[in-house]
Amino acid sequence: MMIVPLLWREATRFPAALTRSVALLVLVFLTHVGQAVAIAWSMSAVLHGQAREVLLALSLILGIALLRLVLSLAQASAAASLGGLVRQAVRRRAMEAALVPERLHDTGARDGSMRASLGDGVDGIDAYVSKYVPAIVQLLLTCPVVVVALLWLSPWAGLCVAVGVVFALVGPLAWKRMMARRGLDHWDSYEALSADLLESLRGMATLRTLGDVSGTRARLDHRSEALRRATERVMRGSLGETSVTDAAVQGGAVAAAAVAITHAVTGQAPALEVYLILLLSSEAFRPIRDLSRHWHAGFLGLTAIPGLKRIGAFTEPGGPAAEHAAATAAPGTGDDQAGEVRPADELRVRGLSFGYPDAAGDVIHDLDLTARRGSLTAIVGESGAGKSTLFDLLLGFLNPRTGSIELDGRPLRARDIAVVSQRPVLFAGTIRDNLAVTGATAEADLVRACRDAGVLDEIQRFPGGFDTEVTEAGTSLSGGQRQRLALARALLARRPVLLVDEPTSALDADRSAGVIDTLHRVARDRVVLMISHRSETLTEVPDVFSLDSGHLHRST
């Protein structure tokens, strides 16, 4: 018996479903005990030639079997419903955490391992929670009752069974712990293979052009081999665990049977009692056999726990992630959604300093910046100067060591900001679907935003117009089209601050000038702050700052 408090807590979050599942399990077990008693009665009646009793006992056995069928079906359904509730809750929390990026660009999480945890990991804990947990409760409730009944019938037989039960529960603990340890390696291998496989599939074109297909195949083979070895190690541990449990169960039952036979031979007990000892001692071990079966089914869930913890599946909403999720909640739900942008005049950053925890010095040094509504503000800087870090600080993904960020004199909130990232993400669906994530659905709004973003002409040239399908990650559109569509989406979000990261990186000179014109226009009723590498596109921008190793200067 291995109790994992974290998963118990998940099961006890649904007390009604857990109680129903346990109660039905106990009833099913009672039908087994009842049937054992009826069989003992029928055999004793056969021995004594009591035809009427035999008939009665056989009818009872049949009735109990039918009752058990109904109860077993109800119990399976109760277990499925408990498992479903837990799965849903765990997945919901994981999704809530997953939908809050740690950084604008790189979150550090690998999609493949996330998928493995969210899919197979969550399914794995279902078996532990819906089957193993109720089976433990049932064992604790029923096993002592049967052992006491056996002690009453025959103290020696009861003692043999009691010792067998204790050994069956305690004996395999060391094996179970070893399996749990090996299981973690197994899960790590499984996650690593899933992550590598997904990345290889996504990057297949790049790998092919770099001539690394065979290298990738070798890496995947290596991962596969590691997973096979880890699986074998777990299976060896599992065999050991099963053998110890079986030895204790069989040993206890055989010893009790030997006591029963001795009673029969010496004539110490009537036939009915002998049969009862034989059958009940076997029934006493039934919950243990069930528990062992469910342990193997629920084992995958145990090994997935660290992965699930990493993605926040056991973290209650209410932490910083949830606050951020709430702050960036879907447009249409906040007070700043109705109608036009609720304007803000001034974004002011004062004395901002930040250093990464594992880095030697600060990346942003005592930075002051004011960006105003009405004119575009741009920040230029070399690669590594700290531009993305500054955006992550503005977005609240990183916490400054010192300094403040205010919008019109109050702290800047995540829901004040719309972002067009350097690598905009589009979702599988139509262009309209991608724009509708902002909550805006009116055709006139979509047309205006797309016109302002300079992408309307191209959309109208597609045969499907706004209903043209874009694939996952937007690969059916050009880089420039994706960027302008993302800009249209950000405009539809109606936030008072617009952050734009490298808006012209995927554009030719004409298009770049067009996008800068667009940003000038949208800056009339928003604070617009853009990052750029290309200072040559910023000749018309009045406020250009240059970021140099985390120090900000006004550009000349």
Ligand X SMILES: Nc1ncnc2c1ncn2[C@@H]1O[C@H](COP(=O)(O)OP(=O)(O)OP(=O)(O)O)[C@@H](O)[C@H]1O
Q: Residue numbers of the site for ligand X (CB under 6 A)? A: 356, 358-359, 363, 381, 383-389
- Other Cβ atoms within 10 Å of 29 Cβ, number: 24
Q: Return the residue matching tokens 């899960």.
A: 187
Q: Which is nearer to ligand X, 146 or 531 (CB)?
A: 531
Answer yes or no: are the C-beta atoms of 315 and 321 closer than 8 Å: yes
Q: Minimal distance in Å, beta carbon 96 to ligand X?
A: 23
Q: Which is nearer to ligand X, 186 or 387 (CB)?
A: 387
Q: Which is nearer to ligand X, 266 or 399 (CB)?
A: 399
Q: Minimal distance in Å, beta carbon 549 to ligand X?
A: 8
Q: Which is nearer to ligand X, 106 or 345 (CB)?
A: 106
Q: From CA 543, how far away is CA 435, in angstroms rounded?
A: 30
Which residue type occupies 128?
Y
Q: Which is nearer to ligand X, 132 or 397 (CB)?
A: 397
Q: Which is nearer to ligand X, 101 or 386 (CB)?
A: 386
Q: From CA 449, how far away is CA 472, in angstroms rounded?
A: 22
Q: From CA 523, how far away is CA 516, in angstroms rounded?
A: 10
Q: Which is nearer to ligand X, 15 or 108 (CB)?
A: 108
Helices (H) and strands (E) in the chain, counts: 19, 12
Q: Minimal distance in Å, beta carbon 519 to ligand X?
A: 18
Helix ranges restricted to H, 171-212: 173-202, 204-209
Show the CA angle centred on residue 366, arms to residues 364 and 368, nearest 5°.
100
Q: Minimal distance in Å, beta carbon 422 to ligand X?
A: 7
Q: Which is nearer to ligand X, 217 or 401 (CB)?
A: 401
Q: Which is nearer to ligand X, 133 or 390 (CB)?
A: 390
Answer yes or no: are the C-beta atoms of 237 and 178 closer than 8 Å: yes
Q: Which is nearer to ligand X, 70 or 425 (CB)?
A: 425
Q: Minimal distance in Å, beta carbon 387 to ligand X?
A: 4
**Strand 417-420 and strand 497-501: pairing?**
parallel
Answer yes or no: are the C-beta atoms of 168 and 288 closer than 8 Å: yes
What are φ and ψ of residue 177, in 5° steps? -65, -40
Q: Minimal distance in Å, beta carbon 358 to ligand X?
A: 6
Answer yes or no: are the C-beta atoms of 424 and 483 closer than 8 Å: yes
Q: Minimal distance in Å, beta carbon 332 to ligand X?
A: 31
Q: From CA 199, how far away is CA 209, in angstroms rounded?
A: 15
Q: From CA 203, how far away is CA 197, in angstroms rounded?
A: 10
Q: Minimal distance in Å, beta carbon 410 to ligand X?
A: 26
Q: Answer positive or negative: Cα dihedral of 385, 388, 391, 396.
A: negative
Q: From CA 498, how far away is CA 500, in angstroms rounded?
A: 6
DSSP calls for 60-101:
HHHHHHHHHHHHHHHHHHHHHHHHHHHHHHHHHHHHHHHTS-
Q: 513 Cβ partners below 8 Å, 6+ apart?
A: 537
Q: Which two tokens stand for residue 517?
A: 């014109």
Q: Minimal distance in Å, beta carbon 368 to ligand X?
A: 18
Q: Which of 328, 357, 502, 295 is nearest to 416 (CA)?
A: 328
What are φ and ψ of residue 318, in 5° steps? 130, -15
Q: Which is nearer to ligand X, 281 or 388 (CB)?
A: 388
Q: Minimal distance in Å, beta carbon 357 to ligand X?
A: 8
Q: Minimal distance in Å, beta carbon 502 to ligand X?
A: 8
